[in-house]
Structure 1
Amino acid sequence: MKNILYIDTADNQKTKVILEINGKKIHKEESLHHASQNLLPLIAQILKENNLALRNLSEIKVNTGSGSFTGLRVGISVANTLGSQLKIPINGKPPGQLVLPTY
């Protein structure tokens, strides 16, 4: 089963999280000022609603730019941390290789 988590925090007014389960995409979006602060609860919510845990993820894809400097750093930091701890690829890079922002 392929479960891909997509993270987009490039817009500082909106955070998007998409969970792809075997090709089916489920969207979650938070629209607030400094919305990237709600990234982790948003990830937890979308996983819980689909009866999945972090360990069930097979890959993470994260928007690396262009966009909000702080928002991108939040999304990329979360993706790098989760990918490293779960030992799964981020943006197609092997586990352990960090994804960098493109401002």
Structure 2
Amino acid sequence: MKLLSLDTSTELCSVALWLDGDTLVREELAGQRHSELLLPMVQELLTEAGLDLKALDGIAFGEGPGSFTGLRIGCGVAQGLAFGADLSVAGVCTLLALAEASGASRVIACLDARMGEVYHGVYEKIEGEWRTLSAPGLSLPQQTPDVAGEHWTGCGNGFAAHGEILRSRYAGQLVEVMPDVLPHAAQIAVLGAAQFKRGLGMDAAEAAPLYIRNKVALKTSER
């Protein structure tokens, strides 16, 4: 399977080509420059691999949660490329991508959602397959989901922004915290390939960001 993947959900802009298990990657801390960087990175990878977009089997993208603007850019570019090359797409949850990046089997994934909140999801890998124990959600860090047992890994920049609260929240249950991990196209590719193999690709017109939150800033009265 040959798959293009991309993620623009955070300040990190990343693109990957999945070539039957081998992966080529481009990444850059983009700030607000995702729309400027994304397509040139895609073209660089295709040129390096000697492939045309139409030779691919599909496109996977980080559907969210994450930055509203970043998610719109990533989804829009995935749709545009897919329409032009007549390819299917697969949206991959960025929190699940954090779990995949951690290398652990029991993961509490948290992304900084700003406004004093975190996006969160809880995952466990059993016999090589991820199971969602708590679906992606949004809450104050002290109100993240309960987990059972020990040997959990905390992953994502939510643990950088609210580390003290989250470590206290899961006191005695965490064996490791990985606060610097961000969603990345390399893991989007792995998870996207699995979705395509299960027949879960969709028409580009059906692709949509997973926002979770419905506003991007607090009103003055809420601050």
Instruction: Kindly name which structure, 1 or 2, has the bigger radius of gyration based on alpha carbons.
Output: 2
Tell me which of 21, 24, 38 is aligned to 2:22. 24
TM-score (norm 1): 0.89
- Displacement after TM superposition at 1:96 (Å): 4.4
- Displacement after TM superposition at 1:95 (Å): 3.1
TM-score (norm 2): 0.43
C-alpha contact 1:10 1:72 (8 A) present in aligned 2: yes
C-alpha contact 2:54 2:86 (8 A) present in aligned 1: no
User: Where in structure 1 do 4 or more consecutive aligned residues deviate above 2 Å?
Assistant: 92-98
Judged with a 3 Å threshold, the aligned counterparts in structure 2 of structure 1 residues 84 and 45 are, in CA distance, closer, same or farther, namely same
C-alpha contact 1:14 1:35 (8 A) present in aligned 2: no
| Bigger RCO of structures 1 and 2 (CA < 8 A, at least 6 apart) | 1
The secondary structure found in structure 2 opposite 1:93 is coil
The secondary structure found in structure 2 opposite 1:97 is helix
Q: Which runs of 5+ in 2 are unaligned?
A: 91-199, 212-223
Which AA in structure 2 matches 1:31? L
Which AA in structure 2 matches 1:35? R
Tell me which of 192, 197, 203 is aligned to 1:95. 203
Question: What's the C-alpha RMSD, in Å, of the aligned pairs?
Answer: 1.4
Q: Which runs of 5+ in 1 are unaligned?
A: none
C-alpha contact 1:7 1:18 (8 A) present in aligned 2: yes
Show the 5 A alignment for 1:8-87: 8-11=7-10, 13-37=11-35, 38-87=37-86
